[in-house]
Amino acid sequence: MGSIYLADDMRLKGRQCALKEVEYDRALPENIREEAREQFLREATVLARLDHPNLPKVSDFFSIGPRDYLVMDFVPGSDLRSLMLEARRNKRFLHEKEVLAWADQIANALIFLHSQEPPIVHRDIKPSNLKLMPHGLIKLVDFGLVKILAPEEVTITIIQGQGTALYTPLEQYGGSDAHTDIRSDIYSFGATLYHLLTNEPPADARKRFLAPESLIPLRQINPSLSPRTEKAVLWAMSMHPDERPHSVTELKQALLGFRETPTLPLSVARVRVHSPSLMDYLAHPPEATLAWSAAVLFLLSLLATLIR
């Protein structure tokens, strides 16, 4: 189990930091506890080397008795869950462009983590672990479940855990890390965007396994969303890892319109996706330009025929 404290730095006066306290299950055999502590120290060293604007900086780690501690930058601001709940209370949705701007930053953080040698998988991406700082920077916080993908897929975990059910892919259930990789983060990222864009939590993976239609397409809840965004989010939330984007870069390109989202796999295609109407296309600038251009050309050709 773990706790997070807001702490004062006694050496650097005026600096506040987040202190992550890790306590191990005392019912575990002594040798297992020692292995867990060795893993913590090994991974704390890895995290301390990371330097990215969308990640809090890990500045130190230490132990006191049976507890280990990770010292990180304190990140001021509101988490995205709070902002989403506020929008829901006001009976409105967060703006799609705003959420996609946040998604761009989150994707950059994940691309950085996944590009490490070995790759680092966060495993607990959710709105409450994403903080919006006063100047607009997003920080992906809480490395409590982070996993280092060691060579030959041997996994090392700081704290054994399953993440939060609403955002957790099916392969992360069951207490084993053997089948989780960067595509597990992609699922959680997609589920997080689903919640932020609809104000409604997505059906969890276990429920979807038994009833695929339980995942309601985003535009049935928020009709103002673009078809492109809906397709990209559902692609990320595909049940089988092989059916998801193979990298966060692919998902980012699909979300921001730099690449075409592939045809949805069968496990997602069973969900009745909202078919865009003419008004849906006219509501988005690129589609509107094409539609009006086609209409003008049709009228000109009709006029030329009549004049003859």
pTM over 0.85: no
Confidence grade of residue 275 (pLDDT, cut at 50, 70, 90): very low
Per-residue confidence (pLDDT) for residue 143, from 0 to 100: 65
* pLDDT average, residue stretch 235-264: 89
What confidence tens digit (pLDDT) does each residue in 53-63 have? 999 888 888 88
CA atoms in the 13 A half-sphere facing the CB of 137? 11
- Is the model's pLDDT at 243 over the cut of 70? yes
The region of weakest confidence among 120-134, 174-188, 210-224, 289-303 is 289-303
How many CB atoms within 10 Å of residue 168?
Answer: 25
What confidence tens digit (pLDDT) does each residue in 90-100 have? 999 999 999 99
- Is the model's pLDDT at 52 over the cut of 90? yes
What CATH architecture is 78-282?
Orthogonal Bundle (1.10)
Residues spanned by CATH 3.30.200.20 within the chain? 2-73
Which is more confident, 292 or 159?
A: 292
Confidence grade of residue 157 (pLDDT, cut at 50, 70, 90): very low
* pLDDT average, residue stretch 167-174: 80
Confidence grade of residue 147 (pLDDT, cut at 50, 70, 90): low
- Is the model's pLDDT at 129 over the cut of 50? yes
Residues spanned by CATH 1.10.510.10 within the chain? 78-282
CATH homologous superfamily of domain 2-73? Answer: Phosphorylase Kinase; domain 1 (3.30.200.20)
Confidence grade of residue 268 (pLDDT, cut at 50, 70, 90): very low
- Is the model's pLDDT at 152 over the cut of 90? no
Which is more confident, 156 or 65?
A: 65
The region of weakest confidence among 43-52, 53-62, 146-155, 218-227 is 146-155
